[in-house]
């Protein structure tokens, strides 16, 4: 597995040297459409472009869950609009240690669309500011569009019927309270997929909001011959997939619809407790 994290100091050095990786600001707030754009306009890493969780990294909610994957054609239009090409490194950033849209963007670009050089800023915007990185206001110039046509890896995903049939270990990235069905603040039904284990995405990070060391993650992450990653809507599950990548382990498949899709069919089994 190639390297998937970049430090704030490395990013600053790269930008100062004029190497110009494409920086994508993926900040988002669940349930607040437009919040990421407002945060970006209020201050962002120089040259960075806004990448929206709801508009760019997901299809319309409904069939397929709250954040279903967009169609390949729709995501191709996004990468072309942003000028993404395989020959230019991409750095994705959020302000939650990658737990929201940064890890989702990494997964969609690297694992699904096959871009060879995608990095998550370890520690996110907080780490950038800690090394003295400046934030700029307003709109930077839009990059020239690209003609890249990704070849999508459909084997990186798994749907509900396959999840029901597979013997793969299901790893749930939600909190333990949501996994047990003790609290469910978002979806109308509480619980988890039978046979699943809970690995909250927050457990992948140190108290400073950076990823734990590779050997620590390797010791902590659930181990099985085959793993399926899921969460509430297919966003924080990508953080667990990223943690597997950092640990040097085979990557889980993503159940993109996750719990919000699973519960759409009342015949599917579930567990509480």
Q: 3-class SS at 170?
A: strand
**pLDDT for the residue numbered 125:** 97
| Structure tokens belonging to residue 132 | 């003295």
Question: Residue 238's closest CA among 42, 57, 23?
Answer: 57
**pLDDT for the residue numbered 140:** 64
**pLDDT for the residue numbered 143:** 83
Question: Residue 184's closest CA among 69, 97, 70, 270?
Answer: 270
| Structure tokens belonging to residue 59 | 């299809």
Say whether 26 is catalytic. Answer: no
Q: Which residues lie across from 44 on neighbouring strands? A: 136
**pLDDT for the residue numbered 31:** 84
Return d(Cα 1, Cα 38) in angstroms, integer. Answer: 35
Q: Which residues of the chain have pLDDT under 50?
A: none
Fold of the 5-130 domain:
Oxidized Rhodanese; domain 1 (3.40.250)
Burial of 117 (0-12, 13-18, 19+ CB in 10 A): middle
**pLDDT for the residue numbered 273:** 81
The DSSP-derived string for 17-58 is TT--PEEEE----TT-TTHHHHHHHH-B-TT-EE--HHHHS-
Burial of 164 (0-12, 13-18, 19+ CB in 10 A): middle
Return d(Cα 181, Cα 188) in angstroms, integer. Answer: 11
For 81-108, write each residue's pLDDT tens digit. Answer: 999 999 999 999 999 988 889 999 999 9
Return d(Cα 160, Cα 265) in angstroms, integer. Answer: 10
Sheet holding 49-50, edge to edge: 5-6, 118-121, 90-93, 22-25, 49-50
Full-model pTM = 0.97
Do 5-130 and 157-262 agree at the fold level?
yes
The one catalytic residue among 26, 111, 231, 238? 231
**pLDDT for the residue numbered 238:** 98
Distance of CA 191 to the CA centre of its chain: 22
* One CATH from 3.50.50.60, 3.40.630.30, 3.40.250.10, 3.40.50.620 for 157-262: 3.40.250.10
**pLDDT for the residue numbered 142:** 78
Residue indicated by tokens 């754009």: 37
Q: How many helices (H) and strands (E) does the chain have?
A: 11, 9
Domain ranges of the chain: 5-130, 157-262
């Amino acid at each position: 597995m190639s390297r998937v994290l970049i430090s704030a100091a490395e990013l600053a050095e790269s930008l100062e040297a004029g190497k110009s990786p494409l920086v994508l600001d993926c900040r988002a707030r669940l349930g607040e459409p437009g919040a990421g754009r407002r945060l970006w306009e209020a201050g962002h890493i120089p040259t960075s472009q806004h990448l929206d969780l709801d508009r760019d990294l997901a299809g319309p909610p409904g069939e397929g869950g709250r954040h279903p994957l967009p169609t390949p054609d729709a995501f191709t239009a996004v990468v072309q609009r942003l000028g993404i090409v395989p020959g230019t490194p991409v750095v994705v950033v959020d302000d939650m240690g990658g737990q929201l849209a940064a890890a989702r963007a990494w997964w969609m670009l690297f694992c699904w669309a096959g871009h060879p050089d995608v990095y998550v800023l370890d520690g996110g915007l907080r780490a950038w500011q800690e090394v003295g990185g400046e934030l700029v206001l307003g709109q930077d110039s839009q990059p020239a569009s690209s003609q890249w046509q990704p070849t999508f890896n459909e084997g990186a995903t798994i749907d509900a019927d396959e999840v029901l049939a597979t013997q793969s270990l299901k790893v749930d990235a939600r909190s333990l309270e949501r996994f047990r069905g003790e609290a469910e603040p978002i979806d109308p039904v509480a619980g988890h997929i039978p046979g699943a284990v809970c690995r909250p995405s927050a457990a992948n990070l140190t108290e400073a909001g950076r990823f734990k060391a590779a050997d620590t993650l390797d010791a902590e992450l659930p181990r099985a011959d085959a793993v399926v990653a899921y969460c509430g809507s297919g966003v924080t599950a990508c953080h667990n997939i990223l943690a597997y990548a950092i640990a040097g382990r085979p990557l889980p498949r993503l159940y993109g619809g996750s719990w919000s899709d699973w519960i759409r069919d009342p015949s599917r089994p579930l567990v509480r407790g």
